[in-house]
Structure 1
């Protein structure tokens, strides 16, 4: 297998550098660092055009749940393609979108589904839907939003307004209507003698103070339940979710849960916000945004689920009171069928083994294998939740840690992309023991190469 079809012709990586504007990338970097050209993938492995394998330890930007080319998902897509590839959803419908909406409603208690193609679009939908709800309710002044310090919800203009990552937001500040960013419950910010739950309560108190003053103009709070991934995998106690729900209900503010990254088992439950619920205290947001793992990493699809109360505010004879938003590929049958296949796997298991039981065994083994990594003298705040791992690296004196580590990890046969000085794993759920050993051992060797022993 060759990177170039013709001897002497430009490689696939070079052709890509010339023709493709790659996402979230300073393209000049690839003058000195060739793009990694991938020819195929199977299970947790990517294969480059030279035949070398790489363990996809970040699930191809957090989307791949059950490995590349999973036979159940592949069969479902082939069957659907033979029947119906696409049809507009305005004025028409089809079985996959109805079945998926029904199943998601049963799983979440949120019975109305609005579809798009990516996570940022889901954020835009939820924000617009919330503000429009309050307009329809006769309270148009409730059109402002609040998020958390370090929150990330996408890079379209509306999504950037509730994203608190300076690199993404500063360049486009003149275009963005900035929202308030309140203290994060990030457990790394706990004061001496304060545990994660107490840290969460302190952050919730700040939210309460803000809403007491600004609730008349605030449409919604948006947050990432349990883990703020782009903020360096900041993890927080579910107590914050419980308190935030109570405050939003008290002050008549919508709660939007962005589970684009953390949904579908990443945190140890199907949806992260479910860890805030109990039999005595049912818990659900007003809006739930899902994408990434929704199709198991096969096709673009996102969805916003909402309560009956939100839906009913738009249900009217007047067109102006409807939710006037659309995407050409809304509810694409192929993508919906892939999502249904993903839900099948959660119900039926991987090779007959329940997904969450398998993941608990995998996590325990990887924790054991990663003990030397966690003990490295440059590591701070080693943490793990479900199938997510993160380590902050004290990189004083290291220029460009993230890029340097990424290249060293590739030498170890691993696809890893640290966020700043945070090394993280978000692997597919199908790693065997050999893959786990390669991941833990290779990650440590790459750290030694970049930072020393």
Structure 2
């Protein structure tokens, strides 16, 4: 049987890994995974790790989930793939019906892409194209939030605002309006999350009031800016934004790729503001983390703007080879069935409450500025000075020290800079949450020793 050392040597001779400075692996060993089971990942030497980040936020129901396995196996025996232009198949129809039924009211049409970034491209193009079809040809720009992230294809990068990913490619990107983030980490002492978000919305409203005639849409990550250090905000911001978009004739794109399907305590984050966006992008957890798939839901009103004779050239001629792949749809259908039968949202609330209790002690840590949580997402932010919130120099890579400590203690806690976060599969137990909290506490203590 292969060993860790053998797999790593083969890997480093041929692979280029994502979001990685490959030279790091001269001293930071790769972890080759042989199998997964529930919250656990196991390497070729028999070491195990609790997947506290759900393998980049996708695996919500555990590795090797038998019900999803069975659904994919059954579909594999029938149809692995077929072109979705001019053809269709039962899994994609059934999945579309279910998504329309379960998402916020008014989202009646589903367009599929292969992954989250591609789905954002769909939503951006569809919004722009809608306004062109409607004769509003001046509408050519988008509004995004500071500290936002929507993917790494060029249009998705353009509407993001995390310099780490964006700055190198700036010359290639379209120009956008950027409104201040409602990220509540920056609220004044004693100021509530709601009050801060209302205050932050003033600048967004000003942008819409002054430039709505040239704006197609506003794009946001509802409630949690995940790649932006898991920064969080109050639902009132979404409510105010929906009202302003309606007032000024601008689309609202909700990127729930990371936060959808129960992560924030409700099935979709938009529910907590009682709003329906004009476009809703869903991916990651959609298939239980099994296969890449993105669904972009929109309104019939938008669909109808493209519905015409072919020779009018109003069709949305956007495509992906694997659009609506039957295997991915089968995995998604099995995932949605588990939500329906297993009362996951209520169980998640219990797990989230336990996570909150397990992380309480971090509030008093001398090098923790904030512990924040929205549903099944929690984050602990390390700082050099608790009183002033002066951050550690990013070049010190303190979060990496937590990561390395965790790997030695059966935990995968991949940091975002100096932020240690928890975004585990929903099959995690309270005892496993306690273990993660203990490991993170020890890791942060080690990381903040000078």
Fold in common (TM above 0.5):
yes
Please list, as runs of the form range in 1=range in 2, the aligned pairs for 1:353-364 lying within 5 A after superposition.
Answer: 354-364=343-353
Q: Given the alignment, which residue of 55, 74, 82 partners 1:60?
A: 55
Q: Deviations over 1:113-169 (max 9, x none)?
A: 111111100100000000000000011210100000001000000101101011111
**Contact in 1 for aligned 2:141/2:175 (Cα 8 Å):** no
* 1:115 pairs with one of 108, 112, 116: 112
For residue 282 of structure 2, what is the aligned residue in structure 1?
A: 290
Structure 2 residue 415 is matched with structure 1 residue 418: yes
| Contact kept? 1:161, 1:179, Cα under 8 Å | yes
The alignment's TM-score, normalised by the length of structure 2, stands at 0.95
**What is the root-mean-square deviation in Å for CA atoms of aligned residues?**
1.4
Q: Post-superposition shift, 1:362?
A: 1.4
SS of the counterpart of 1:140? coil
Residue equivalent to 2:193: 196
**Does the 8 Å contact 2:283/2:293 carry over to 1?**
yes
| Aligned twin of 1:3 | 3
In the alignment, the residues of structure 1 paired with residue 156 and residue 13 of structure 2 have an alpha-carbon distance, to the nearest angstrom, of 30
Paired residues for 1:147-296 under 5 Å: 147-277=144-274, 283-296=275-288
Unaligned runs of 5+ in 1: 5-9, 278-282
Once the two structures are superposed, the pairs formed by residues 27-106 of structure 1 within 5 Å of their partners are: 27-106=22-101
Would the aligned equivalents of 2:399 and 2:447 in 1 still touch at CA under 8 Å?
no
Please give the alpha-carbon distance, in whole angstroms, between the structure 2 residues aligned to 1:383 and 1:267: 12
Separation in structure 1 between the aligned mates of residue 320 and residue 331 of structure 2, nearest angstrom: 19
> How many equivalent residue pairs?
439
- Counterpart in 2 of 1:301? 293
CA shift for structure 1 position 72: 0.7
* Structure 2, gaps ≥5 residues long: 385-391
Structure 1 runs of 4+ with >6 Å offset: none
Shift of 1:249: 0.5
319-328 vs 146-155, greater mean Cα deviation: 319-328
Counterpart check, 1:23 vs 2:15 = no
Distance 1:229 1:433 in 2: 23
Q: Is contact 2:401-2:446 (8 Å) kept?
A: no
Contact 1:299–1:335 under 8 Å retained in 2: yes
**1:332-371: CA deviations, max 9, x gaps?**
000011111111011000xxxx212211221222222222
How far apart, CA to CA, are the structure 2 residues paired with 1:421 and 1:335? Answer: 35
CA distance in 2, matches of 1:436, 1:425: 9
Deviation at 1:431, TM superposition (A): 1.1
Cα pair 1:152 1:228 within 8 Å, conserved = yes
Q: Does residue 378 of structure 1 match 2:364?
A: no
Q: Deviations over 1:179-217 (max 9, x none)?
A: 111011111122244211111111221111111111010
Deviation at 1:219, TM superposition (A): 0.2
Secondary structure of 1:215 counterpart: helix
CA contact (8 A) 1:238 1:276 kept: yes
Pair 1:344-2:337 in alignment: yes
TM-score by length of 1: 0.94
C-alpha distance in 1 between matches for 2:298 and 2:340? 23
Q: What's the CA shift for 1:376?
A: 1.7
Would the aligned equivalents of 1:373 and 1:440 in 2 still touch at CA under 8 Å?
no
Distance, in Å, in 1 between the alignment partners of 2:3 and 2:364 is: 39
Does the CA contact (< 8 Å) of 1:14 and 1:34 recur in 2?
no
Number of the residue aligned with 1:330: 323
SS in 2 for 1:158: helix
Moved more, 218-227 or 107-116: 107-116
SS in 1 for 2:227: helix
Give 1:369's aligned residue.
358
The offset of 1:373, in angstroms, is: 3.0
The whole-number CA distance in structure 2 between the counterparts of 1:214 and 1:364 is 43
Deviations 1:238-259 (A, max 9, x none): 1000000000011100000000
